[in-house]
């Protein structure tokens, strides 16, 4: 069955003068990682204590100042982990741990017991408020839901007063906020406010979760703006977000909701969480970073973040996961590769980042330009040229890029697979540097007369020794004149290029030459520490291609 008619459309919020569409995000929100709670409860195999400690250390290293470390009243492992953090003094002074509990007195008491001795903590209490939860799960009315919230808030306040050595921050979530009538969500939170009596100096956090994503991101933003406008004591309230990814829009919903007035965002690194996952804090933070906004998180070592997440969750990161995936900065398309290469060739360090197809500099996340361009049958000259330039130092001229890319494409089309940079280099060597030479120098001498050069040499020509002599404007020109006279073949040099491979006195030189004969073109490449040898060998490589073809025809 595939029957769309059984799903009612989500009703929009009646807010005619919304302001969030005209807002822009200009600073990072307060972040709270829920990797150790939401993320952990969503795993097939929950984290071990060692994995939790490793995850906690990563979150601290990345720069989270608020970390939800568990649901200690729900399981003994969570309780023990919270105790270990406190007793082993693992919580930095600038980090506040957060714990979750349902609004039930016995669970709240157990939760406070887990936090005994903590310097500072966020006590996060919740109960479900949505229509479906009220009617089908708890089978109660709105008053019943408010009574649960008030009872929970009262118990939290009572327990906190019994432990004044800890600095307490209270947080309340009307779970399934997006499925709750917006005016009722405000009513429930106002009831909690009447118990906790927050102030601007000691605010309460109201976390408004999209526990199940039910509508487009703009609807969530409308809900948040309506809430912010109508909640009592707004200056004593921190509005927090907790979006899920059921519709694939968790990041977008959180971004628009920040524009709508939210000050705090909960999520997980790389989006691990129930069903399709929680909001990916890496993506939202890096989206800000790409707009020139400091995310207040240190994500420069993305490979380490991915490695720890994978180890602790046993979940692989998709290669196309924004910012963190292995292929997110990689271009296979020929036109993309060509554009990237041209932009990188003229980019100056310290200038504004404006590189085609690369929204951020891969190096900012600890990646390298070696990851940017990879070659398969869809790639073009730009990709091949990029690999040879950035991995092997050969800056191929455009005419040789075009020619050699066809060679590479022939191989990738035949295999149907990506070709590794080392295989590209082997192919380049086979085709140009180590190809069969039908002509080679035995020995030579050079005489300079005024501004002209005379080149005398003995060459191996099809296995026979041949003496040549020629005069020209330079060594290569003189050699070409002598060779053309000796073998009676009419050809001309169409292209010539050279550059150093590396720096310093010992750097080798690479030379690229293209000959034309009878409407056909032939290329040669050579590398040598001596520029003259490099030029002559490149020429002989091209000439050998020409002679080989003529021999085959004959």
Higher pLDDT, 171 or 542: 171
The count of other CB atoms within 10 Å of the CB of residue 165 is: 8
Higher pLDDT, 533 or 144: 144
The number of angstroms, rounded, from the C-alpha of 142 to the middle of its chain's C-alpha atoms is 44
Per-residue model confidence (pLDDT) at position 545: 84
User: Mean pLDDT across the stretch 370-385?
Assistant: 67
Least confident of 394-398, 470-474, 545-549: 545-549
**Residue 124 φ/ψ, nearest 5 degrees:** -105, 110
Confidence of residue 271 (pLDDT cuts 50, 70, 90): very high
Classify residue 547 by burial, with Cβ atoms within 10 Å: 0-12, 13-18, 19+: buried
* CA–CA dist 260, 22 (Å, integer): 10
Candidate CATH numbers 3.30.830.10, 3.20.20.70, 3.40.50.300, 3.60.15.10; the one for domain 4-313: 3.20.20.70
Question: CB within 8 A of 140, min separation 6: which ones?
Answer: 134
Most confident of 175-179, 461-465, 488-492: 175-179
Res 554 pLDDT > 60: no
What is the DSSP pairing of strand 237-243 with strand 264-267? Answer: parallel
* CA–CA dist 237, 205 (Å, integer): 6
Res 553 pLDDT > 80: no
Question: CB within 8 A of 444, min separation 6: which ones?
Answer: 455, 456, 457, 458, 479, 536
Task: Give me the chain's average pLDDT, please.
Answer: 91
The number of angstroms, rounded, from the C-alpha of 512 to the middle of its chain's C-alpha atoms is 37
Res 519 pLDDT > 70: yes
Contacts from 285-288 at CB under 8 Å and sequence distance 24+?
285/28, 285/31, 286/322, 286/323, 286/360, 286/365, 287/251, 287/255, 288/25, 288/28
Global pTM?
0.75
Residues 194-253: pLDDT tens digits?
999 999 999 999 999 999 999 999 999 999 999 999 999 999 999 999 999 999 999 999
Residues 387-441: pLDDT tens digits?
888 888 899 988 898 888 888 888 888 888 888 889 999 999 998 988 777 888 8
Contact 33, 68 (CB under 8 A): yes
* CA–CA dist 255, 246 (Å, integer): 16
Per-residue model confidence (pLDDT) at position 518: 78
Q: Which of 208, 259, 218, 268 lies closest to 32, judged by CA?
A: 268
What is the DSSP pairing of strand 464-472 with strand 452-461? Answer: antiparallel
What ranges in 201-349 are assigned the alpha helix state H?
217-230, 250-259, 281-289, 302-313, 334-346
* CA–CA dist 333, 345 (Å, integer): 18
* CA–CA dist 121, 128 (Å, integer): 23
328-356 as b/e, with b when 16 or more CB fall inside 10 Å? Answer: bbbbbbbebbbbbbeebeeeeeeeeeebe
| Structure tokens that stand for 81 in this block | 């982990």
Per-residue model confidence (pLDDT) at position 376: 63
Cα separations (Å) of 246 from 117, 175, 212, 410, 449?
Answer: 38, 16, 6, 43, 82
Per-residue model confidence (pLDDT) at position 378: 65
Question: CB within 8 A of 97, min separation 6: which ones?
Answer: 67, 68, 69, 82, 85, 91, 115, 118, 120, 121, 122
- Residue 505 is classified by DSSP as T
- Residue 333 is classified by DSSP as S
* CA–CA dist 85, 549 (Å, integer): 76
Sign of CA dihedral 488, 489, 493, 498: negative
Classify residue 46 by burial, with Cβ atoms within 10 Å: 0-12, 13-18, 19+: middle
User: Mean pLDDT across the stretch 519-542?
Assistant: 89
Per-residue model confidence (pLDDT) at position 7: 92
Confidence of residue 475 (pLDDT cuts 50, 70, 90): confident
Contact 501, 527 (CB under 8 A): yes
Domain coordinates in residue numbering, the chain:
4-313, 334-433, 439-553
Contact 118, 97 (CB under 8 A): yes
Q: Which of 325, 303, 315 lies closest to 51, judged by CA?
A: 315
In the beta sheet, which residues pair with residue 441? 459
Class of domain 334-433: mainly alpha
Q: Which residue has the tokens 């500099």?
A: 361
Residues 322-376: pLDDT tens digits?
999 988 888 777 788 788 888 988 999 999 999 999 999 999 998 876 566 656 6
Q: What is the DSSP string of 274-307?
A: STT-B-BHHHHHHHHHTTT---SS--S-HHHHHH
Please determine, looking at this structure, whether the domain spanning 439-553 carries the CATH number 3.30.70.2190. no
Residues found in the chain: 554
Least confident of 123-132, 271-280, 358-367, 542-551: 542-551
């Amino acid at each position: 069955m595939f029957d769309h008619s059984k799903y009612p459309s989500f009703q929009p919020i009646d807010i005619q003068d919304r302001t969030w569409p005209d807002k822009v995000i200009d600073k990072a929100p307060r972040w709270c990682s829920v990797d150790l709670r939401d993320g952990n409860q969503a795993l097939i195999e929950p984290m071990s204590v060692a994995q939790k400690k490793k995850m906690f250390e990563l979150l601290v290293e990345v720069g989270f100042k608020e970390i939800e470390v568990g649901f200690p009243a729900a399981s003994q492992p969570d309780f023990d982990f919270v105790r270990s953090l406190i007793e082993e003094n693992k919580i930095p002074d600038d980090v506040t741990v957060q714990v979750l509990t349902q609004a039930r007195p016995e669970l709240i008491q157990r939760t406070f017991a887990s936090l005994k001795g903590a310097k500072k903590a966020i006590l996060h209490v919740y109960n479900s408020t949505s229509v479906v939860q009220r009617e089908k799960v708890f089978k109660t009315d709105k008053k019943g839901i408010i009574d649960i919230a008030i009872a929970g808030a009262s118990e939290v306040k009572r327990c906190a007063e019994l432990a004044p050595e800890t600095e307490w921050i209270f947080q309340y979530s009307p779970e399934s906020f997006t499925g709750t009538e917006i005016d009722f969500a405000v009513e429930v939170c106002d009831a909690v406010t009447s118990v906790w009596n927050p102030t601007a100096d000691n605010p309460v956090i109201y976390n408004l979760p999209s526990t199940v994503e039910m509508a487009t991101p703009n609807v969530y933003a409308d809900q948040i703006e309506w809430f912010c406008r109508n909640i009592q004591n707004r200056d004593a309230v921190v509005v927090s977000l907790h979006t899920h990814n059921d519709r694939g829009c968790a990041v977008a919903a959180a971004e628009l909701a920040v524009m709508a007035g939210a000050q705090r965002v909960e999520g997980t690194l790389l989006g691990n969480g129930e069903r399709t996952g929680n909001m990916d804090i890496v993506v939202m933070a890096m989206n800000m970073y790409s707009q020139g906004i400091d995310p207040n998180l240190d994500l420069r070592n993305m490979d380490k973040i991915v490695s720890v997440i994978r180890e602790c969750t046993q979940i692989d990161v998709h290669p196309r996961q924004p910012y963190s995936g292995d292929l997110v900065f990689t271009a296979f398309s020929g036109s993309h590769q060509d554009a990237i290469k041209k932009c990188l060739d003229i980019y100056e360090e310290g200038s504004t980042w404006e590189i085609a197809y690369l929204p951020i500099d891969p190096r900012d996340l600890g990646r390298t330009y070696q990851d940017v361009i990879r070659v398969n049958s869809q790639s073009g000259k730009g990709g091949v040229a990029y690999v040879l330039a950035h991995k092997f130092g050969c800056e191929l001229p455009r005419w040789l890029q075009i020619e050699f890319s066809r060679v590479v494409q022939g191989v990738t089309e035949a295999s149907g697979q990506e070709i590794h940079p080392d295989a590209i280099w082997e192919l380049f060597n086979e085709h140009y540097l180590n190809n069969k030479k039908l002509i080679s120098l035995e020995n030579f001498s050079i005489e300079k007369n005024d501004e002209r050069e005379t080149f005398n040499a003995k060459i191996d020509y099809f296995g026979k020794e041949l003496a040549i002599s020629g005069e020209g404007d330079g060594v290569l020109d003189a050699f070409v004149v002598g060779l053309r006279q000796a073998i009676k073949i009419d050809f001309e040099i169409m292209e010539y290029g050279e550059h150093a491979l590396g720096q310093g006195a010992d750097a080798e030189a690479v030379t690229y030459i293209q000959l034309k004969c009878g409407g056909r073109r032939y290329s040669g490449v050579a590398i040598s520490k001596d520029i003259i040898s490099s030029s002559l060998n490149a020429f002989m490589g091209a000439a050998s291609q020409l002679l080989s073809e003529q021999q085959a025809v004959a």
